Structure 1
Amino acid sequence: MMSDFISRSLGWVSAKAQDILLRILASGPVPKHVGFIMDGNRRYARMHQQEVKAGHAEGYVALRRVLEICMRLNICCVSVYGFSIENFKRSPQEVEDLLSLVQEKLLEICQYGDLLDEHGIRLNVIGNKTLFPPRLQAASRKAEEMTRKNNRAILNLCMPYTSRDEIFTAIQETIQEKLDSDSPFGEITEDDIDAHIMTNAAGSPPLDILVRTSGVKRLSDYLLWQGCEDTQIQYTDGYWPEFGLWDFIPILLDYQRKAWSTPAHARDLS
């Protein structure tokens, strides 16, 4: 009984400490848009002698945890790399396990979308969805529609996605738009293409921070257009299922330090 009391007391103290810390962090400069490359699910599973699909399932638990932290910090847009087009090259069993997990989580959003509704989060499934089987395309559309009226924050679930495909599609759409217009074709500008980049078309603000877990230092064809200018790239050693507030704090503090060191007039222009 005493051990249970001590455990509950320590849990309460930890929760209060985290709440105070989040309030302090939220009072400083806060990024508007954070992207995550959720890397390390498979290695996490192997480290714990689990099947690969168990690592991916733990990764979705971590996503819910991190999304709640972001909302409490008033970060208004989160983009996560849910499924790369390159993932279709993995073993058929792993691909099927991943697709089944994605469908399960999308259906959970439709049935138990408490976190998204609580924080007013609109879900955008971003990528070449025609590559998904029909059952998953239908689940994506249903999940998006269920949150369409939410307007306080955005969750971009990028799948199946690569930046090359996104940029290629944006160029195609820009050219087609020019061809369909009544005016002369004219010059295609960077702004024309930028308007057709999927995250921008979905109403996302510029990408402030891009985080990759697991210690691997590469971008893996993710948000390359969005991250080519002022984005802070951050790498952290832990696997994605382990990622939480204490991993996020140094990243946020580094962002705030750089924001505070930027002259006020420069921040106003950004």
Structure 2
Amino acid sequence: MSWIRESELSLLQKIAANILKAGPMPKHVAFIMDGNRRFARKKNVERQEGHMQGFNKLAETLCWCQHLNIREVTVYAFSIENFKRAKAEVDGLMELAKQKFTRLLEERDNLEKHSVCIRVLGDLTMLPLDLQQLIAKAVFETRTHNKCFLNVCFAYTSRHEITNAVREMAWGVEQGLIKSSDVSEALLSKCLYSNNSPNPDLLIRTSGEVRLSDFLLWQTSHSCLVFQSVLWPEYSFWNLCEAILQYQFNYRSIQKARDLHREEQELQQLEADRACVAEVLQHHGNGKPADAQRRQEALLHYTACREERVQDFLEALKHKRDSFFTDLASQAVLA
């Protein structure tokens, strides 16, 4: 089954889509695709068939998102917690992933036609090496595409992602790229696996579960969360429309919360910069208070230096991560 489908909506679906697009539309939607195993039990088929049907539904859902002008989709494909499942099921999921990423690489022309960028977020070192290489090649070959973005969270949990971001900042301090005083909530956000993406506007979980299950905990603090009872392989265009309507009904309160949080972050950063400047001035001024002009000049200088340090650190971090994917992709070519 293809990752990127080219199919038209029915007349009724087109009408509904046009009505929805008249209101505020989510630009980034995240899915917890839950219910594949329950679907398999319901249909009395093997679990692997349930997971296969789940992938097919993802391809169909991506097509709907294209028609609705949703440019970015993030999906929870495989949690680190899933490694605790029966070995046969985990092996089956790894094999399914290999098949699907192999198929993805066979669809280069289609991906290029629609300019789809594939990103895989998670700790790839937990995966079999051949799957790591396939994933890296898919990420590497679509890295310049910029019309649609599909983020696949694989070997992922949010706590693991946040812990890794803290390690990255610690690495930056150890390397002398940033100071410990540069560490902030905003910087941590830029060290997450998802640093290239805006936070999701809408998160949808299927199957009736009302938990986030360690998925995008940091990124969805100001997102619209919608929990739907339908099993993922049975998800429909109308289920997606219902979720978008809930986003539209709550749009103003969501935007207000985001704006307030952004203002709070800016204020916290300003206060942190002022505290650092005050310490520097006190140290160099032999305890004498500096006048307002000198404090302002020192603050502007310190802020500019901090922003430059942070930018250099983020570029170094990007180079480190890009090199990881590039090296894996080159191994795949040689193999």
TM-score, length-scaled by structure 1: 0.88
Amino acid at match of 1:251: A
- Contact 1:71–1:119 (CA<8 Å) still a contact in 2? no
Deviation at 1:264, TM superposition (A): 9.1
Task: Report which stretch shifted further, 118-127 or 54-63.
Answer: 118-127
Amino acid at match of 2:76: Y
Deviation at 1:266, TM superposition (A): 8.2
- Structure 1 segments of 4+ aligned residues over 4 angstroms from their partners: 261-270
Give deviations 1:172-212, integer Å, cap 9, x for gaps: 00111122125644352111211101112xx2112211111
Q: What residue in structure 2 maps to residue 86 of structure 1? A: 81
Deviation at 1:26, TM superposition (A): 2.1
Counterparts in 2 of 1:85 and 1:15: CA distance versus 1, 3 Å = same
Describe the SS at the equivalent of 2:75: strand
Describe the SS at the equivalent of 1:151: coil
Q: What residue in structure 2 maps to residue 165 of structure 1? A: 160
Counterparts in 2 of 1:13 and 1:149: CA distance versus 1, 3 Å = closer
Q: What residue in structure 2 maps to residue 35 of structure 1? A: 30
- Contact 2:34–2:205 (CA<8 Å) still a contact in 1? yes
Aligned match of 2:232 in 240, 243, 252? Answer: 240
- Please tell me the root mean square deviation across aligned C-alpha atoms, in Å: 2.3
Give deviations 1:116-146, integer Å, cap 9, x for gaps: 4343220001100000000100110111122
Aligned match of 1:205 in 198, 202, 213? Answer: 198
Deviation at 1:115, TM superposition (A): 5.5
Asked if 1:64 corresponds to 2:56, the answer is no
Q: Whole-Å Cα distance in 2 between the matches of residues 220 and 255 of structure 1? A: 21
Q: Whole-Å Cα distance in 2 between the matches of residues 179 and 13 of structure 1? A: 53
Asked if 1:216 corresponds to 2:209, the answer is yes
Q: What residue in structure 2 maps to residue 106 of structure 1? A: 101
Q: What residue in structure 2 maps to residue 181 of structure 1? A: 176
- Contact 1:124–1:157 (CA<8 Å) still a contact in 2? yes
Describe the SS at the equivalent of 2:78: coil
Q: Whole-Å Cα distance in 2 between the matches of residues 264 and 164 of structure 1? A: 26
Describe the SS at the equivalent of 1:186: helix
Q: What residue in structure 1 maps to residue 121 of structure 2? A: 126
Amino acid at match of 1:111: E
Counterparts in 2 of 1:256 and 1:135: CA distance versus 1, 3 Å = same
Q: What residue in structure 1 maps to residue 268 of structure 2? A: none
Describe the SS at the equivalent of 2:145: coil
- Contact 1:68–1:115 (CA<8 Å) still a contact in 2? no
- Contact 2:102–2:134 (CA<8 Å) still a contact in 1? yes
Amino acid at match of 1:213: T
Counterparts in 2 of 1:21 and 1:117: CA distance versus 1, 3 Å = farther
- Contact 1:179–1:185 (CA<8 Å) still a contact in 2? no
Greater relative contact order (CA < 8 Å, ≥ 6 in sequence): 1
Describe the SS at the equivalent of 2:118: strand
Unmatched 5+ stretches in structure 2: 1-6, 263-335
Give deviations 1:62-113, integer Å, cap 9, x for gaps: 0011111112111121110010111111111000100000111111111025
Task: Report which stretch shifted further, 213-222 or 140-149.
Answer: 140-149
Higher-Rg member (1/2): 2
Unmatched 5+ stretches in structure 1: 1-11
Amino acid at match of 1:204: S
Task: Report which stretch shifted further, 214-223 or 65-74.
Answer: 65-74
Q: Whole-Å Cα distance in 2 between the matches of residues 22 and 89 of structure 1? A: 40
Counterparts in 2 of 1:135 and 1:249: CA distance versus 1, 3 Å = same
Counterparts in 2 of 1:159 and 1:266: CA distance versus 1, 3 Å = closer
Asked if 1:252 corresponds to 2:244, the answer is yes
- Contact 1:37–1:81 (CA<8 Å) still a contact in 2? yes
Number of equivalences = 255
Counterparts in 2 of 1:174 and 1:46: CA distance versus 1, 3 Å = same
Describe the SS at the equivalent of 1:206: coil
